[in-house]
Amino acid sequence: MKLAIVYDRVNKWGGAERVLLALHEIWPEAPLFTAVYDKKRAAWANVFQVHPSFLQHIPFAKRHHELYPWLTSMAFESFSWDAYDVVVSVTSAEAKDIITKPGTVHICYCLTPTRYLWSAKKEYEASGFAGKVLHNLAPMLKKWDIIASARPDYYLAISKRVGHRIEKYYQRKVEQVIYPPVDTEKFKINEKLKMENDNYFLCVSRLVPYKRVDIVIDAFNQLGWALKIIGSGRSERSLKKRANSNIEFVGGDLTDTALVAYYQRCRAFVFAGEEDFGLVSLEAQACGKPVICYRASGMAETVIDGKSGLLFDRETPECLVDALHTFSKEWYDSGFCRKNAQRFDLKHFKDGMRKIVEELAKQKI
């Protein structure tokens, strides 16, 4: 079975990129096709044979793809898949737009339906000049997106939350939910720190509007408790201005070793957005730390309320403050947190993904 992988843009590092590396472990010979490839910002991708599209040569496209929303779909349509039996698209945007012939099976591992057109449309349209461009083009782009959503032969979803969005926006059946993997060998409890911590809470996130880091900041501004934020993004400057002195921005360019140390020393992991899945919550739990997150988020699907974390009901600073006060009165078993995370480890993901891809490929053939 000759297989290729397609991803929206190879120009950053995050949870989706960890998924791609896990797919590489399953199919090490599979090349990676993408709209743009920034080698400096995506050194993780050097294990792949990467094939960027013509968009690679357009000014500013590597870092500011949002300036060219009308071209990105065309970029993916320009690829030929005649040499492949199976193509797995990993996408929260346009990678599903590829066009395959009947002899090639297209399986979409959907991170979420095109985020800037559906679940996070308002947040993206509020982001400066690019947001204004998006607002004007959104009706046309939505029509294109609906057309493109019919192209995959099969859909897999990263969470039940995303599965519901696929059914709602695209009217497509989801074959299976396969949760992204956490590396429990890398993210683990530090036995020396098991019964102590540095008394800070931790938020790990890209600093973009739909992640709702602003809610976390507002809550900790009210409480005055120590918070560390790991991440970077276009909202970084405004979020730093919003934060009081009890909040520290660590930056986003950390090694995994450094990131693990921050998890291991924190009191708990905090997140306020409606996340598609939220691999960071499993990283925290694998390190023995409880998670405080929004109940309607995909992140909540991996948290056992009252045992491996605490769920709150509304995306507001006040609701998060109440949850943090409740959390501070309770005790969480680090061993239980890790045991819960181990249900989502790399082996489970690889076995599940390999099995479903092979089964779906046979069905189409």
Please give the single-letter amino acid code of residue 191.
E
- Kind and range of the H or E run holding 132: helix 128-149
pLDDT at 351 > cutoff 70: yes
Q: Residue 365 — very low, low, confident or very high, per pLDDT cuts 50/70/90?
A: low
Task: Judge whether 97 and 170 are in contact, CB under 8 Å.
Answer: no
Question: Residues 129-153: pLDDT tens digits?
Answer: 667 767 778 888 899 999 999 999 9
Report the alpha-carbon distance of residue 209 to residue 70 in Å, rounded.
Answer: 22
Report the alpha-carbon distance of residue 236 to residue 38 in Å, rounded.
Answer: 21
Report the alpha-carbon distance of residue 21 to residue 251 in Å, rounded.
Answer: 23
Terminal Cα distance for the chain, rounded: 11
**Burial class of residue 105, CB neighbours in 10 A (0-12, 13-18, 19+):** buried
* Domains with residue ranges and CATH for the chain: 3-181+345-364 (3.40.50.2000), 191-344 (3.40.50.2000)
Average pLDDT along the chain: 92
Indicate the pairing of strand 86-91 with strand 105-110: parallel
Report the alpha-carbon distance of residue 136 to residue 138 in Å, rounded.
Answer: 6
**Backbone angles phi and psi of 180, in degrees to 5:** -60, 155
Question: Residues 162-203: pLDDT tens digits?
Answer: 999 999 999 999 999 999 999 999 999 988 776 667 899 999
